[in-house]
Amino acid sequence: MHLGPVSFSAFLAIAPIALSAQQQASLGVGAGVVRYAGGSSFSALTLAPAAQRFTTATYLGASGAVSWLEGGAAALQGRGDIWAALPWRARGTRIAISSTLAASWRSDGIGSASGLMVFEAARSNFALGAGVISGVIEHEPGVEALRLRARGWWQADPTPVQLSLTTEATHLLGVWYTDVVGGLTYDGSRTVASMWVTGRFSGTYGSAGAASASLQYFVTPTIAVEAAGGNYLRDPFQGLPRAGFVSGGIRLFAARRAMAVTTAPARVVLQPLVAIPRGGDTVVVRFRMPGAHSVAIAGSWNDWKPDKLTGLGGDIWERALRLPRGTYYFNLVVDGREWVVPSGIATISDGMGGQIAVLNVL
């Protein structure tokens, strides 16, 4: 199979990790160096836009990169991701579909693209799935393969650390190979750091390993400095070779990153907010927000659209909600612009580097 354009995923590796609100857009500006196993290397200046939106049942993401290389060449790379839970459950198991489209092109080379679609059954912190992945390289016939996936994830409460492990077995051109990826993510108030280790195992294609790390530090709620480095394995579907990379830059966010109002002592185990019953399905939530001029609540029950709270005086804000018994997730919007995780209330990871608070209706 002919090798396609070089991979610019090195510059997308530090694409926005954090999703302060439930939708986000950002633009990264950076530079980096990619080095191939054979010893050759190149450097590039890159612009990398990205956007995401998610609810408890869907995730939509798009990212891209425009790079200017040494010698005057240009390169483009784009990626789109969709994850959606289907509307039925079976004994606590949720059925979902995920799809990824990716493409690369160089002005002094050729283009390539790949697509993946997987159906999976998720339960608690574990999911099993199966699907099809295909790839095409310019001037070469396309290929398709069966992919089987098993993944698990764990939140190390009450610390902001998340662990993940994914195993993918791929049947390509009559031969199986297996990728095992382990990840660790730290999601602090201003710092988001992650580390990934990958192993590929195959008696025919050979076995190999790779590792990478990234760091994102929020100088302000809308500006972050970023750095990443490591290496990645060969992609047989786009013909992208194995390479190492180092990159860095800054990223500007359209929405402000949610910051905790206060930090609870490490020894305190925070509890979910329990709504105050008012009869029937009506409950009341109440918060203390010193200095706030307006407060709204956005949660999993209203598609994360902010609803205004009523000020009672003395920095107290409340709202009546019609919610059946269950567990919900929410954040507050203070003064119409800053997404805030209320202090003293249990939170969980939103899966995109941020935190969301937990609400119980008993």
Whether residue 247 is found in the same domain as residue 323: no
**Would you state the pLDDT for residue 130?**
97
Contact by Cβ (8 Å): 37, 28: no
Whether the bond into 158 is cis, omega within 30 of 0 = yes
Q: What is the pTM of this model?
A: 0.68
Whether residue 188 is found in the same domain as residue 281: no
Whether residue 162 is found in the same domain as residue 18: yes
The pLDDT confidence band at residue 351, using thresholds 50, 70 and 90, is low
**Arithmetic mean of pLDDT, 320-335:** 87
**Would you state the pLDDT for residue 314?**
81
Distance between first and last Cα of the chain: 59
Among 253, 276, 304, where does a domain finish?
253
The pLDDT confidence band at residue 263, using thresholds 50, 70 and 90, is very low
Portion of the chain with pLDDT greater than 90, in percent: 37
Whether residue 152 is found in the same domain as residue 167: yes
Among 225, 253, 281, where does a domain finish?
253
User: Which tens digit of pLDDT belongs to each residue from 281-324?
Assistant: 788 888 888 888 889 998 888 878 889 999 888 888 888 888 88
User: Which tens digit of pLDDT belongs to each residue from 145-197?
Assistant: 999 999 988 876 556 788 999 999 999 999 999 999 999 998 887 899 999 99
Using DSSP's 3-state secondary structure scheme, residue 326 falls into: strand
Q: Residue 6: how many CA atoms within 13 Å on its side-chain side?
A: 23
Domain region containing 347: 259-361
Whether residue 241 is found in the same domain as residue 277: no
Instruction: Specify the CATH number for the domain of residue 153.
Output: 2.40.160
Question: Which contacts of 348-351 are long-range, i.e. CB under 8 A and separated by 24 or more positions?
Answer: 348/155, 349/155, 349/160, 349/162, 349/187, 350/19, 350/22, 350/54, 351/54, 351/59
- Domain membership of residue 23 (yes or no) is yes
